[in-house]
Structure 1
Amino acid sequence: MITKELVNKSIDYIIRHLDEEISIEDVADYCHLSKYHFSRVFKAETGESIYAFIKRLKMEQSALRLKLEKDKSITDIGVDFGYSSSNYSSAFKKHYNISPGEFRKAMNITDVPDPFCSEKIAWFQSFEEYAQQITIMELDDFVVIHERHIGNYIELGKNWCKFKEKYKDYFKEDTLLIERFYDDPSITSVEQCLYDICMTVDNNCSLDNVITIKGGKFAVYRFDGLVQDIFAVFQGVFNIWLADSGYEMDKRYGLDIYRDIDTQNKHVVVDLCIPIK
């Protein structure tokens, strides 16, 4: 199996079992490799040890839960990711230089620093303003060609250009460009964000990197504006609308479905789709 495909397979396994005790041996066995060979392959491909990767994802997903599930106790969130109360607080503080309680209080309801521009602040609208622009929809499954990236979202445009050129022969009139995102860049380092770029194809496409993205119930926000303003809207929908909507984000991951792209003017029309239950 090609190294990149092997690592992607292992990452998918880790994501599915993140709320369980995961050992390096578990992941290596899933990939049918020895622990030592797998560890070398994973580090060479991602620049991060498998142990550090699992630990980081657990911490970042717990931070996302602290941000979104305001009524759930810090202790219970820590336990969900395998930590005792005292261990979770110390591990969280070591990772973020702030305690879980302080982190939760710091989730400002009016603005957040933009990690892609240190001098910029992302300001939020009110809950009612976001709610007026959100539609609850049932989306069908998507059969897609996909490529996974770990890195700064600033490279997203460049990666999309390469992707579209590589698979230009598969474009049709009804082809959709879809980004599947796993991380919140206000929580995860911008250099370590995990995302898939995808395009829809026919069910009979024979490429090796064809997968099915599960549909289901989503809260859909239609963004129509400049690329540089997407972060503020993304944060507002999560911090303001989702946190107080009565819905919860489930274990599927979010999608950005591009409806129109004006590359020259850096203007896009994109549906921000949050999986909910």
Structure 2
Amino acid sequence: MKKETKQYRQKIVNNTYYYIYKNIAQDISLEELAKLSSLSKYHFHRIFKEESKNTIFFELRSIRLQKAANLLITNNYSSILEIANECGYSSHSSFIKAFKKMFFYSPKEWRKEKYKEYSASLLKKFQNNKNFDALEVKIKVTPSILCTYLRHKGYNNNISKTWEKLNAIVYENNITKQRQIAIYHDNPTIIPLKDCSYVACIEISPNENTLLSTFIIEEGLCAVFSFKGVYGDILNFIRYVYHFWLPNSGYEAKTNPAYSIFKKNHFTSEEKEFDLEFYLPVKVIY
């Protein structure tokens, strides 16, 4: 496969994911997604499946349900139906059926206590006794950030290879290297790590001349945590944020993904340590 063809196909997939995440509350059709890339439905779906290893229907359903599973934990002031609608389900019964098929519990059971059992089984080997209660949290409006990026499937040590590749791409394209940013599309404390979507990003200037995939982290209200640690600590930290801090904070999560801005990146530093600011998009309850 020619380099230009590979880049073209990857851009189709990247643009598709970006559109889905940005419009998760809307009814999204195959025809609509194909039109984004000026392709027929058949050719779009074939390219997407070959590149992502899943059908567009599987990916769309998984993204909707993973978002809903997290909001059921964090958004105590929203009804199950409101959360279903926010994640693109107009039918309450369809949402309940799909959710139970993926998570083995009804949304009501999940929301009460079952998510804790599910999470504990996923994080068994990462659990430690760290206490995060003393972490300072700031609520502030954060500016938009333009990034170039690479997607990585799974939360694992292989993310370091994705960062190596992204840094190499930035160097070869003479892009002024700025801040390193990680985007967490999924809550890894309730989604198997191998299924989580991670995005390695490098901030770029608006005037950079690049044909690389880019997107904008939108301006918005965020809860901001400063945190240091090593690989594995981030999972327990995210668990604290979503399962303990947020439900008792007076704020609710949005469908926009959380992200970290690194001062030190454990996937690129020799010490395998991180120093970061974690940004969680929120909305105030009043």
| Smaller-chain TM-score bracket | 0.7 to 0.9
Q: What TM-score, normalized to structure 2?
A: 0.84
Q: Does 1:218 align with 2:257?
A: no
Distance 1:12 1:166, change over 3 A: closer
Q: Which residue number corresponds to residue 234 of structure 1?
A: 238
Q: What TM-score, normalized to structure 1?
A: 0.87
Task: Report Cα offsets for 1:42-93 as digits up to 9, x if no partner.
Answer: 1001000011111111111111111111232223323443253333222211
- Kept after mapping to 2: 8 A contact 1:113/1:122: no
Superposition pairs of residues 163-242 of structure 1, within 5 angstroms? 163-168=166-171, 169-170=174-175, 175-209=178-212, 210-242=214-246
Distance 1:267 1:152, change over 3 A: closer
- Kept after mapping to 1: 8 A contact 2:34/2:44: yes
Distance 1:72 1:96, change over 3 A: same
Q: Does 1:267 align with 2:273?
A: yes
Q: Could you list the runs of 5+ residues in structure 1 that have no partner in the other structure?
A: none
Query: Which residue identity lines up with residue 201 of structure 2 in the other structure?
Result: C
Kindly report the root-mean-square deviation, in angstroms, between the aligned alpha carbons of the 2 structures: 2.5
Q: Which residue number corresponds to residue 113 of structure 1?
A: 120
- Kept after mapping to 2: 8 A contact 1:257/1:272: yes
1:243 counterpart (247, 262, 270): 247
Distance 1:167 1:38, change over 3 A: same
Q: How many residues align?
A: 270
- Kept after mapping to 2: 8 A contact 1:114/1:120: no
Secondary structure at the aligned position of 2:251 is classed as coil
Distance 1:35 1:220, change over 3 A: same
Superposition pairs of residues 1-277 of structure 1, within 5 angstroms? 2-80=8-86, 81-104=88-111, 105-108=113-116, 112-113=119-120, 115=122, 118-121=124-127, 125=131, 129=133, 132-168=135-171, 169-170=174-175, 175-209=178-212, 210-261=214-265, 263-277=269-283
Q: Could you list the runs of 5+ residues in structure 2 that have no partner in the other structure?
A: 1-6
Secondary structure at the aligned position of 1:204 is classed as coil
Note the C-alpha offset of 1:160: 1.3
Q: Distance in 1 between matches of 2:114 and 2:130?
A: 15
Q: Distance in 1 between matches of 2:203 and 2:85?
A: 38
Note the C-alpha offset of 1:118: 4.3
Q: Which residue number corresponds to residue 4 of structure 2?
A: none
Secondary structure at the aligned position of 1:242 is classed as helix
Distance 1:249 1:118, change over 3 A: closer
Distance 1:145 1:16, change over 3 A: closer
Which aligned runs of 4 or more in structure 1 are off by greater than 6 angstroms? Answer: none
Q: Distance in 2 between matches of 1:274 and 1:123?
A: 23
Note the C-alpha offset of 1:166: 3.1
